[in-house]
Structure 1
Amino acid sequence: MPFPQRRKLWWNSLRVRLTLWNTAVVLVAVMVALLAVREGLRYSLLTEIDVVLNDEAKSLSLAIQEFYPDHQLVIDEMQRIAEGHKERGWHVHWLDAHRNTIWASPAAPPAPLTQLAVERGERSVWVSKSHRSVERRVDAPGIPTYYVRVGSPIAYIEEDVARLTRILLPVSLALLCLAPLGGYLLAERAIDPLKHITETTRRLRPSRLEERLHVRGVGDELDQLAIQINQFLDQLGDHLRQQQEFVANAAHELRSPLTAIQASVEVTLDKPRTAAEYEDLLVAIHHECQHLGCLVNQLLQLAETERVPGDAPREMVGLAEIVRRCLEMFAPIAEDRALTLQTHLDETAAVWGMPLQLRQLATNLIDNALKFTPSGGMVAVELGRKGAGHVELTVRDTGIGIPPADLAKIFERFYQVDKARSRAATDRGNGLGLSICQAIVQAHGGTIDVTSEVGRGSTFRVVLPAATDRTGMPAPASPREAGLV
């Protein structure tokens, strides 16, 4: 059932949202930059005027010390400085120890400044809304304490700041107008790979998964996303291919006994038969039905094993007891075929798992070893600990072995090394036993592998997490991650 498509709103577009974010960032950056430049200019101009005023105030303090007690000479020097900077609106104040005015230049503000901004030793800065003055204390031996102030209006500083603001404001407005356009272009360029990803995934179909996303090779997050999606598509394609092969093989395996049953019945019904012939037919049909039932049961078991969730209920299972019971079950078969069974079981080997599945695992491995070992051969079953936190089950035989070309496929569903011989045997298999073993081992967080030499036998090795290292599911590091395989 297709999902209903929601109405696409323009403000929900990633491109629009990126554009708006870019515009907002540019707006904030421009405002911060404008304020920083204005305040920086004001600070620089005030610092510069403080330095100049301080130099003049220092020279007047030296004049007071030099000309004292002749006040007129001091006043003349102050008038000279005030007249020299008349164009700038400078003013001079001469104050006594109580900061009462002794003399002030004509441009001086009506009242002495009373707001102290900065005080550093003999120098201090006094400010008002319209003026700024630097005051120095005159404190020399033999003369009274005086204060001399040299000040300047700050209107021209505010004019310079306003002039800079008028210059920067149009530039800022232009940037704000260009920000959406630039943001849109950047957003378009940024989401272009996403458009290709969307278009490619839209073309994908369950029956056509060959197409892959383009990886630009720049190593950014979009490349990583494309790589992850491609890997997922590879896994999905492999899974679908395996499912298709599984269905085809299952259909073939099911058709063979059904065809045999149908052919036998049609031949028998072609003409009257004796009771013995009918009995032979029923025996043959019964044999094929047994094989058909075994195949169906194994298919169901394989499906159930693969559907087991990782958090399925588990219990501590002693593998030694399970393996021992399987060996007791196969002992008559081994004796009938003149096969030697060797066992070495560690009674402390235990895992967290599902007993029925673990019993099926041991049964399939031992049955497989007995089936392909000729009379007089040997099958060895060993169970013990491997490393600090794993249990190893080994089933080794002296059978016919597996060709190297078949080792990589031995765990595939319905795969049989010698199909002609297997189908001719009375206990022929169907290629699902080892697939079931692999599914059970993987469901228990373990690994299974095989080594074999043609004519000398095979060794199947299962490694599972030990119960002593666990307090619950899922399992800790796998045997392969622990360096045990």
Structure 2
Amino acid sequence: MRLKKLSDQRHTLAFRLTLWYATIFTVSSFLAFLIFYLTAASVVQGRTDEEITEEIAEFSHILRSEGIEALKKEVRNETEAEDTGEIFFRIFNSDGSAIIESDLSSWDPTEINETALNQLSRDGEPVFGTYHLPEKPYPVRIVYAKIGQTFVLQSGIVLDDETRIMAVFKKVFSATMIIVFFLATLIGWFMARRALSGVEEVTQTAWQISEGAFGQRVPVKNRGREIEQLAHMFNHMLDSIQKVIREMREMSDNIAHDLKSPITRIRGMAEITLTTANSLGEYEKMAANTIEESIYLLEMINTMLDISETEAGTDQPDLTRIDLAALVREVCELFEPLAERKELTLTVHAPMTLNIYGDLRKLQRLMGNLLDNAVKYTPVSGKISVSLSENETGGLILSVRDTGIGISETDLPQIFERFYRCDQSRSKTGSGLGLSLVRAIVKSHRGEIAVRSHAGHGSTVTITLPRLSTP
């Protein structure tokens, strides 16, 4: 079980972030220590070279001021003061024959480097080199330098103290790097877990929701702007999903209720006719009623499909150039007989021509639904006014005003919901889909719709459409 958990941890984002952090921090520390090590080695070597250069300057001064015998004496004094295995001096002339040399028994073989001599002859500056001699456990620093006009000094010193210092530094460096790696891993793990704690809460909330806890939300804490935005957006998404689910449930209930009524009527008429009918006319009446109810059901189902397709964008409007003023007048003429039957006054205020790019069939349904509602919910001797005009931005404003029963303030925000019907409208026939379809058509034409109404004082529906609407 522990091995499985460890294996699972290797695939987590926290583990990868920790590994990246530890690697980057360790590599950065390694580079910093490496630079420090190289700098320290360079400083130590520089100090050694300075000491040797001072010896060369001293020998040159003795040779110039006191002669060769004094120089021999000084070389003996230097070698006696030091361990002969730690330092040596050799002075030779231009033909390579040694005239002064210290005890070289522990330095065998120490040959003359022709390349160094050539460089010394060419540049005139002391030539330093670090060598690893078989008989010496530590590196040796050897220098070739001119003293006087004709002599060359070859001197070597074992870098034992310097090498031991750098070896201790390497050990400390190695131990420090191990400690740094583990500290970087712990700090990286802590930082990664802290940074991803908000993501874990989102994951945990999503898991709880998948188990049925739809009311759960991600707590918004001060863990950084990105995590807060993620939590806000996730909660907003959950609210939207919950709203959609609630609307779907309500719509399902409404569909079931609205489908149940005509189906129940069809069944009731069929049962009554089958049990009581005595003539062919009664069966014909039942068939006619059944067809009428079926037409109502089909219209309601088709309207629901039209709304869904229009809102989803799958049924894009077929845009053509339309004279909206002529369309409004034609639809009003179709409703004129219905208005006259209820003794309603239907007036139209529209210019002779007002063009728009739109879907002719959809705009006809839009206008028909608005007038159908106005005629249906306006009592006898009422008034209906339809106006079409152009606003200052070049858009079109379509307004349908009536003196009907109106809509209460509590019902007004919900009138565009599918199957929603106000209390005053339940006595009238209808499915509650008309205004939902109108809004869907307006939105598909990139327009806006607004309703102003007061119970008992009529309603005004105002639609604003862009003059030229393209997909």
Cα-to-partner distance string for 1:373-417 (whole Å, 9 max, x where unaligned): 664442112367847xxx545324254454443332121112234
Cα-to-partner distance string for 1:427-458 (whole Å, 9 max, x where unaligned): x43321111122334445x3523141433642
Distance 2:397 2:97 in 1: 106
Distance 2:35 2:163 in 1: 11
Segment of structure 1 superposing worse, 430-439 or 151-160? 151-160
Per the TM alignment, residue 367 of structure 1 is displaced from its structure 2 partner at its CA by 4.2
Q: Which has the higher helix share?
A: 2
Partner residue in 2 for 1:218: 223
Mark the CA change 1:81 to 1:253 in structure 2 (over 3 Å): closer, same or farther: same
Distance 1:27 1:299 in 2: 60
Distance 1:124 1:363 in 2: 105
Structure 1 segment 379-394 matched on structure 2, within 5 A? 379-382=386-389, 386=393, 391-394=395-398
Per the TM alignment, residue 84 of structure 1 is displaced from its structure 2 partner at its CA by 4.5
Segment of structure 1 superposing worse, 454-463 or 241-250? 454-463
Structure 1 segment 45-194 matched on structure 2, within 5 A? 45-58=41-54, 60-61=56-57, 64-65=60-61, 67-68=63-64, 70-86=67-83, 89-94=86-91, 103-106=100-103, 110-113=110-113, 122=125, 124-129=127-132, 130-133=139-142, 144=149, 148=153, 151-169=156-174
TM-score, normalised by the number of residues in structure 1: 0.69
Per the TM alignment, residue 28 of structure 1 is displaced from its structure 2 partner at its CA by 7.8
Partner residue in 1 for 2:440: 439
Distance 1:281 1:31 in 2: 89
Of residues 349, 365, 375 in structure 2, which corresponds to 1:342? 349
Task: Could you tell me which runs of 5 or more consecutive residues in structure 2 were left unpaired when the two chains were aligned.
Answer: 133-138
Partner residue in 1 for 2:306: 301
Per the TM alignment, residue 242 of structure 1 is displaced from its structure 2 partner at its CA by 0.3
Partner residue in 2 for 1:202: 207
Mark the CA change 1:151 to 1:342 in structure 2 (over 3 Å): closer, same or farther: farther
Q: Is residue 2:43 matched to residue 1:41?
A: no
Task: Could you tell me which runs of 5 or more consecutive residues in structure 1 were left unpaired when the two chains were aligned.
Answer: 1-7, 474-485
Helix, strand or coil at the partner of 1:204? helix
Structure 1 segment 453-468 matched on structure 2, within 5 A? 453-454=453-454, 455=457, 457-463=459-465, 466-467=468-469
Segment of structure 1 superposing worse, 192-201 or 455-464? 192-201
Per the TM alignment, residue 233 of structure 1 is displaced from its structure 2 partner at its CA by 2.1
Per the TM alignment, residue 213 of structure 1 is displaced from its structure 2 partner at its CA by 3.2
Distance 2:161 2:303 in 1: 97
Letter in 2 for 1:303: S
Mark the CA change 1:100 to 1:47 in structure 2 (over 3 Å): closer, same or farther: farther
Aligned partners of 1:15 and 1:187 also within 8 Å: no
Give the RMSD, CA atoms, in angstroms. Answer: 4.9
Helix, strand or coil at the partner of 1:452? strand
Aligned partners of 2:26 and 2:184 also within 8 Å: no
Mark the CA change 1:179 to 1:84 in structure 2 (over 3 Å): closer, same or farther: same
Mark the CA change 1:124 to 1:369 in structure 2 (over 3 Å): closer, same or farther: farther
Distance 1:61 1:195 in 2: 73
Distance 1:219 1:442 in 2: 38
Mark the CA change 1:21 to 1:207 in structure 2 (over 3 Å): closer, same or farther: closer
Cα-to-partner distance string for 1:65-91 (whole Å, 9 max, x where unaligned): 564272233444455455545489234
Count of residue pairs the alignment pairs up = 444
Aligned partners of 1:54 and 1:134 also within 8 Å: no
TM-score, normalised by the number of residues in structure 2: 0.71
Helix, strand or coil at the partner of 1:44? helix
Distance 2:96 2:440 in 1: 99
Distance 1:376 1:21 in 2: 72
Helix, strand or coil at the partner of 2:350? strand
Letter in 2 for 1:72: E
